[in-house]
Amino acid sequence: MANAPASIHPFDECASAEALADLRARLVATRWPDVPEVPGGVGWSPGADQGFLRDLVAHWIDGFDWPAAEAKLARLPRFRTEVGGLGIHFVHARGAATPSGRPALPLLLNHGWPDSFWRYSKVVGLLADPGAHGADPEDAFDVIVPDMPGFGYSDAPVGGPLDSRAVAALWAELLGRLGHDRFVTAGGDIGSHVSRYLALDFPDRVVAVHRMDAGLPVFGGAPSELSPAEQRWFEASAAWNQAEGAYGAMHRTKPQTAAAALNDSPVGLAAWIVEKLHAWSDGGVGAYTMDEILTNVTLYWLTGTIGSSMRMYSANAALPKEQLLRRVEVPSGFSIFHGDIVRPPREWIERTANAVRITEPARGGHFAPFEQPELYAQELRDFFRPFRGFRAG
């Protein structure tokens, strides 16, 4: 990074041979649980499918090459700096020169759980240098992808987890340090909430915001004020939470109980993450190769961040209701992917944000930037194109 401030340093950490040997020994020594014997098998219904998990672990032991995966991630321009007293790891890919000479648009991408900068690793190049990938070179972005505190290679807060609003404030400081007084931002999952708070708390700096969901179904009025579609969405959200939300309740209330197990057992960690990749992706685990899944899981294992990442749920659960009820007035775009979970209706999106563009891509799920990188990148190019006229700081 030419002329970078002295407080920003290239990041080139590599896992030690000792850490990889310990991981392999733990995998080999796995004590597998029993599985109920029922006609046709239990599959994914009670949790991670053990047949798939056994195949994944066998590949982890004898087929997966972490140093090669690490080297692939290292091709991204990665850095560390201190923000708010925390060491923050981030990708910063400078946008390619545009034919018109117009500066690339600064774009902050916010990940969620259970992932890290991994979520956007396939789209960084597509967004920073669109001309090299068959897209309009005028759509180049300066791409910034931080690991949230307690995720990936960023430090975990010592005094307790930060909520999405606090992380948004850190990212506003980070973008200023990188020379971007004004910028656009996008995100999904927890990253959608971070993007929302950036737009709410820094509307003079956020030019436009793109999200893959419309937040939690929290409403301050009477149910009768909701449209029939909104009422159905609230009911569907409650039903989904009853059937699928046990992980979230654990994260919000007793994250350290789960962390004690998941931080000690790589197979337990894989089961916890893989089950969500399967349930939330368009096409289940078939949306990924085994190496792609294991890159995400191994990042969690080597950084020891499963506990700190889960604790963010408890911090977000403590946000006052009035914060959840605030309407985003910054121009907002939404891509509600076909395979995502509990998809909000247009009426709710327009109630909670100044929605200037809403699309429903036919492919992709909760991790669309990784599942369908070309499609996701085009969604961002199309939405942000009208906002490129401001003077980027």
CA gap 261, 382 in Å, rounded = 44
3-state secondary structure at position 102: coil
In sequence order, the β-bridge partners of residue 210 are 186, 333
CB 294 within 8 A of CB 69: yes
Residue 189 among the catalytic residues: yes
Q: Which region holds residue 43: left if phi is over 0, alpha if psi is between -120 and 50, else beta?
A: left
Given the residues 49, 189, 213, 340, the one annotated as active site: 189
CB 374 within 8 A of CB 174: no
In sequence order, the β-bridge partners of residue 110 are 187
Cα R_g (the chain), whole angstroms: 21
The one-letter code for the residue type at 35 is V
Question: Could you tell me how many residues make up the chain?
Answer: 393
Given the residues 120, 288, 300, 313, the one annotated as active site: 313
Among candidates 303, 295, 301, 305, which has minimal Cα distance to 65?
Answer: 295
CB 272 within 8 A of CB 307: no
CB 364 within 8 A of CB 371: yes
Given the residues 49, 92, 366, 376, the one annotated as active site: 366
CB 160 within 8 A of CB 311: yes
Residue 313 among the catalytic residues: yes
CB 209 within 8 A of CB 333: yes
Could you list the active site residues?
189, 313, 366
